[in-house]
Structure 1
């Protein structure tokens, strides 16, 4: 069976749960070597005693290759270390990157909520793109003619807004436009920005 991502390396941020975990395991099934990045290797659950297997452990149990790197993506040195560890572990093959607030209207939004949302959703994309592009530019082109791809996860709320979601919508609008700008500046390094629809996470369950 031909694996579409054989010999590729993917850095997947927010990999401990939700969409990030799903992306990491899906990429691994297609043959990619996965660098799982998050603040903790195991997602928090509503039941304290419930144990959720780490994403990197799950990938290895199913025959894939993966490592976990703890990283706060709002801190430049930690993002740089993330890329360095990815290269050290899996050499300098193709690298892709995934990146991943309380509802409130703008007059109800605390300053620290705004700042945290922008740090997590926007600054993290800037830093991850900055440090991975340095690595990608040093790589030889692959058979497809590029040196790697950056895939940023945005949201439909970044285009049309959402009820009581001012900081989140603003941050995702920034992600979408930053991705367009980077695509223009690095046209030979294809960039894709997905605007996902609703997917089920524990926070949506009643």
Structure 2
């Protein structure tokens, strides 16, 4: 059955759990082929539940198509490699969901500079790097 996103390719960063997982599943329900990207590849890598492979399996059970790619959005080489793999596999990318993000369980006053740098690297630099790497392929 043809849907509004049939033939579209969507990258969802932070797709192993929470909002990222939910968006990946919903985009797949609408017919998009999904690239689930995150750092969490195996259970136990994080204190939080969920992996990119679990999200891919769940999408597959719903009849959707998904691929898992490990990617640390704070590392430009990881982001560029992810995009290279997407283009090699699908030939194009149509949708980018910059969902990878973290919060800090500490109050602002107790936050260390190291915590702040990590927060900024994931939440801001990661969005910048992913958009910078994907946008040229979206505008071709």
Is the contact between residue 42 and residue 54 of structure 1 (CA under 8 Å) also seen in structure 2?
no
**Residues 42-191 of structure 1 correspond to what in structure 2 (within 5 A)?**
54-92=54-92, 94-100=93-99, 101-105=104-108, 107-138=109-140
Q: Distance in 1 between matches of 2:122 and 2:83?
A: 18
Q: Distance in 1 between matches of 2:69 and 2:32?
A: 16
- Structure 2 runs not aligned, ≥5 long: none
Q: What does the per-residue CA deviation read over 1:110-168, in whole Å, with 9 as the maximum and x for residues that have no partner?
A: 01110000011000000001000121122xxxxxxxxxxxxxxxxxxxxxxxxxxxxxx
Report the TM-score when normalising by structure 2. Answer: 0.85
> CA-atom RMSD, angstroms?
2.5
Structure 1 stretches of 4+ moved >4 Å: 42-48, 50-53
Aligned residues: 135
Is the contact between residue 28 and residue 64 of structure 2 (CA under 8 Å) also seen in structure 1?
yes
Tell which structure's C-alpha radius of gyration is larger.
1
With a CA cutoff of 8 Å and minimum separation of 6, indicate the structure with the bigger relative contact order. Answer: 2
1:57: Cα distance to partner?
Answer: 1.3
**Residues 2-81 of structure 1 correspond to what in structure 2 (within 5 A)?**
2-41=2-41, 54-81=54-81
Is the contact between residue 7 and residue 32 of structure 1 (CA under 8 Å) also seen in structure 2?
yes
Q: Distance in 2 between matches of 1:86 and 1:74?
A: 18
Shifted more, 57-66 versus 68-77: the winner is 57-66
Q: Distance in 2 between matches of 1:91 and 1:22?
A: 25
- Structure 1 runs not aligned, ≥5 long: 139-206
